[in-house]
Amino acid sequence: MADDLKYGYKGAEPTQSFGNNTGVFDPNDINNLIANNQWTTFGQLELIETKDITVMTANIDFTDIKENIYNVHFITANDVTSNTTGRHMVKQFSTDGGSTFVSSGYQYAQQYGTGAGSFGETKSTSASFLGYWTASISPLSNQTAQAYSYFYNLGDSTKYSFTTFQSSAWYSTGPNYQMIFGSAVYPSANVVNAIRLKSDSTSSFTGQFSLYGIRYS
Amino acid sequence: MGKLVQVATNTVSSPTASVTLTGIDSDDVYMVTIVGASPSSGSDEIRIRVTKDVAGTPTPQTTANYDWADKFLRASAAFINDYNTNQTSTRGTGNIDNALNGGNGIFYLYNFNNSSEYSFITIESVTYGFSEGRGYQGGTVYTVAEAHNGVYFFPSTGNIDSGTFTLYKVV
């Protein structure tokens, strides 16, 4: 729409913002308002990036997590396989955009339970990763892991960064089913701007990994 | 995967006794996020009540009808089966040491709009308190069959100094 008739108004145009769009909009207006984060769109679980890892990969890094936009992030992991026997997938944070990843000082507390009736707790105040995100899996038929994790405060330089998580997997020991749920903290007031998914030891993985942001949280 | 529609949000920038989020008016599942919630007292937790419309005013319900069962996850001590019945509120987060850390969590709300069912909440929260990471995972129920239009958050003592509380509808 011509600038002299912006949003259908002559002269002073209405201020546009989420939840308060006023006027008549053509496609270019809408695209521009979306780009400026001023257009009301529902569906506030917003996909940031999906990594479909089909070749065994040791480090699956999300380095454009848009921590300046989202206070809460959400990651899903689906159909995860390992090329080494008995490996968990774990998470680490980076504060330098993914050049390096923090490998000490995490705290976590998590519960596990198996289909064979074994339940227990795993915890640490000096870990090199943010807890065991999945059960240990092996390169055997049907041994896959599925998981999700929420992240909080990653972009806030004044607060610690936190995560909660849950997973469901076919466990390498037994073998049988294993579930895990838990929480973890990176007790350092820093901006976290990249997330690494990797093994607790040497291994590589395939799977589908999606990072979302929960807007306006 | 469904979509989230923001219904209400409240960012606390000065001390306040409580935060109320309302706008539950359908039978959809709703979700609440809490990010960086810090109470004024050094080791408080964030507690929850459901709200009911009373003559046009969202009113936190204080009758002794809250039951909960959570796994209290601790980074430096044995985990605790945390449960109770017939309480006047329910626990949303673990202890929160100070403003640097904050309480965080995801809460799903079920049956709030249904006047003939109890209202249920699942809890998944994480904090840093008493020098350890702490998590709560479990659920709670308010055992009164009536419609509820929102949730009310408050610290066990004092005020909430900061934090963002947001209510979404899952559609």
Q: Where are the domains of chain B?
A: 4-170
Return the pLDDT at B165: 96
pLDDT band at B1 (very low <50, low <70, confident <90, very high): very low
CB A155 within 8 A of CB A67: yes
Out of B4, B127, B137, whose CB is closest to A45?
B4
Q: Do A158 and B100 touch (CB under 8 A)?
A: yes
User: What are the chain A neighbours of B104 within 8 Å (beta carbons)?
Assistant: 152-153, 162, 164
Radius of gyration of chain B (CA): 15
Neighbours of B95 (CB within 10 A): 20
pLDDT, tens digit, 9 for 90 and up, residues A103-149: 999 999 999 998 888 899 999 999 999 999 998 888 887 788 999 99
Residue A16 shares a structural domain with residue A49? no
Return the pLDDT at A14: 85
Out of B5, B134, B164, whose CB is closest to A44?
B5
The reply to whether A148 touches chain B by the CB within 8 Å rule is no
Residue A193 shares a structural domain with residue A87? yes
Residue A50 shares a structural domain with residue A135? yes
pLDDT band at B133 (very low <50, low <70, confident <90, very high): very high
Q: Share the mean pLDDT of chain B.
A: 93
pLDDT, tens digit, 9 for 90 and up, residues B29-86: 999 999 999 998 878 899 999 999 999 999 999 999 999 999 999 999 999 999 999 9
Residue A158 shares a structural domain with residue A106? yes
Q: Do B100 and A159 touch (CB under 8 A)?
A: yes
pLDDT reading at A173 higher than 80? no
pLDDT band at A3 (very low <50, low <70, confident <90, very high): low
**H, E, C per residue of chain A:** CCHHHHHHCCCCCCCCECCECCCCCCHHHHHHHHHCCCCCCCCCEEEEEEEEEEEEECCEEECCCCCCCCCEEEEEEEEEEECCCCECEEEEEECCCCCCCCCCCEEEEEEEEECCCCEEEEEEEEECCCCECCCCECCCCCCCEEEEEEEECCCCCCCCEEEEEEEEEEECCCCEEEEEEEEEEECCCCCCCEEEEEECCCCCEEEEEEEEEECCC
User: Which 119-138 residues of chain A touch chain B by CB within 8 A?
Assistant: 121, 123-125
pLDDT, tens digit, 9 for 90 and up, residues A45-72: 899 999 999 999 999 999 999 999 999 9
CB A90 within 8 A of CB A200: yes
Question: Which residues form the domain of A27?
Answer: 3-35
pTM of the model: 0.87
Report the distance separating Cα B72 and Cα B136, nearest Å: 5
Q: Share the mean pLDDT of chain A.
A: 91
If we measure between CA atoms, which residue out of A54, A153, A74 comes closest to residue B104?
A: A153
Return the pLDDT at A2: 47
Q: Do A110 and B73 touch (CB under 8 A)?
A: yes
Residue A18 shares a structural domain with residue A66? no
Residue A121 shares a structural domain with residue A172? yes
Q: Do A72 and B35 touch (CB under 8 A)?
A: yes
A127 within domain boundaries: yes
Mean pLDDT for B129-149 is 94
C-alpha to C-alpha distances, B100 to A105, A160, B24, nearest whole angstrom: 17, 7, 32
Out of A71, A162, A215, whose CB is closest to B126?
A162
CB A195 within 8 A of CB A155: no
Return the pLDDT at A114: 87
Return the pLDDT at B143: 95
Structure tokens at A100: 């390096």
Q: Do A187 and B78 touch (CB under 8 A)?
A: no
Q: Which CATH number fits domain B4-170: 3.30.1120, 3.40.1350, 2.60.120, 2.40.10?
A: 2.60.120
Residue A104, by phi and psi: left (phi above 0), alpha (psi -120 to 50) or beta?
beta
A40 within domain boundaries: no
The reply to whether B80 touches chain A by the CB within 8 Å rule is no
| Torsion on CA atoms B19, A184, A101, A77, rounded to nearest 10 | -90
Residue A82 shares a structural domain with residue A30? no
Structure tokens at A97: 């955009």
Return the pLDDT at A42: 64
pLDDT band at A4 (very low <50, low <70, confident <90, very high): low
The reply to whether B127 touches chain A by the CB within 8 Å rule is yes
User: Which 37-66 residues of chain B touch chain A by CB within 8 A?
Assistant: none
pLDDT reading at A89 higher than 80? yes
Residue A85 shares a structural domain with residue A8? no
pLDDT reading at A76 higher than 60? yes
Return the pLDDT at B100: 67
Domain count, chain A: 2
The reply to whether A72 touches chain B by the CB within 8 Å rule is yes
Return the pLDDT at A1: 47
Residue A74 shares a structural domain with residue A16? no
A174 within domain boundaries: yes
pLDDT, tens digit, 9 for 90 and up, residues A138-161: 888 778 899 999 999 999 999 999
